[in-house]
Amino acid sequence: MTDFLKISDEVRQALAQHKPVVALESTIISHGMPYPRNVETAMNVENIVRENGAVPATICIIKGKLVIGATPDEIEYLGKSGLKVAKASRRDLPVLLSKGLDGATTVASTMIGADLAGIKVFATGGVGGVHKGATETMDISADLDELANTSVMVVCAGCKSILDLKLTMEYLETKGVPVIGYGTDELPAFYTDKSGLKVDYRLDTPCEVAAAFKCKMTLGLKGGMLVTNPIPSEYAMPADVINDAIEAAVTEANRLGVKGKAITPFLLDKIQKITGGESLESNIKLVYNNARLASLIAKEL
């Protein structure tokens, strides 16, 4: 395992001393935002984790090593390289690691890295799910199966609103993944704080969330927990504005035949352009908000 895993000294020491650690993904750096905002955002997220009493562990793949706790130079490298870096999910890990390549980890592969290192809390923007039209395309994110199998809590602003949220919730229910609404009974929809769908349970404090996850682990129940944290209302986008932008972006993707790994970065970029950059600002703010909450939960856990 040590041949493929590289844990930073800071993260290793924090774990040995039972200090709170928060895992962070790297796809958001290379595939989620343009340079240099991506690097600036990633470093700000790490600072927010520290300010809230936890140790950040940005996870990525560098030269065939699954890095747990990327350095500022490694984050800069991922940000500058952008789409040249492979988008790495579970299925990509064996080849990227064995061939000594680089990769930016998705929610699924970040969960794997966190679990291997012993990190139980992970903050991200939004998770993948069942894509629109999946009844024909079968386009379902590996993030959902990872949540069903890997014991890491994922704190997010809900599932990405480019998805079919109703089918995503049905899939999570089938897989036995608890979907928690932090301070809300309604599933957040990434850019907006409401989707019209109910979460499984509402919990109102970091202590309550940590207690539920600890109970899950004590019982030996396989899989993670999805904690959905609404975007702060002052940064939320009007539902009609973002929904129109999503519909236009999806139409364009279908016209161009964009599929697979390319679809999410394509849609996010297209939505950003349609909204004049407003969606990017909302994206950044919700990531910051999730990093704060994840840090507080990790401290309680």
Q: Which is the catalytic residue, given 6, 65, 160, 270?
A: 160
Q: Are 114 and 57 in contact, with CB atoms under 8 Å apart?
A: yes
Q: Which amino acid is at 54?
A: A
Q: Are 180 and 210 in contact, with CB atoms under 8 Å apart?
A: no
pLDDT value of residue 1:
62
pLDDT value of residue 30:
93
Q: Tens of pLDDT along the chain (301 residues)?
A: 668 999 999 999 999 999 999 999 999 999 888 899 999 999 999 999 999 999 999 999 999 999 999 999 999 999 999 999 999 999 999 999 999 999 999 999 999 999 999 999 999 999 999 987 777 778 889 999 999 999 999 999 998 777 889 999 999 999 999 999 999 999 999 889 888 999 999 999 999 999 999 999 999 999 999 999 999 999 998 888 887 887 888 788 878 888 767 777 787 778 878 888 788 899 999 999 999 999 999 999 9
Token output for 39: 């690097």
Q: How far apart are CA 24 and CA 68, in angstroms?
A: 9
Give me the domain span that covers residue 19: 5-300
- 160 catalytic? Reply is yes
Q: How far apart are CA 160 and CA 202, in angstroms?
A: 20
Q: Which is the catalytic residue, given 25, 74, 146, 278?
A: 25
- Distances in whole angstroms, Cα of residue 21 to Cα of each of 18, 138, 169, 216, 278: 9, 35, 28, 19, 31
pLDDT value of residue 230:
97
3-state secondary structure labels for all residues of 152-194: CEEEECEECCCECHHHHHHHHHHCCCCEEEECCCECCECCECC
What CATH number should be reported for the domain holding residue 15? Answer: 3.40.1790.10
pLDDT value of residue 264:
72
- 25 catalytic? Reply is yes
**What total number of domains does the chain contain?**
1
Residue 32's closest CA among 237, 260, 294, 280? 280
pLDDT value of residue 142:
94
Q: How far apart are CA 301 and CA 83, in angstroms?
A: 35
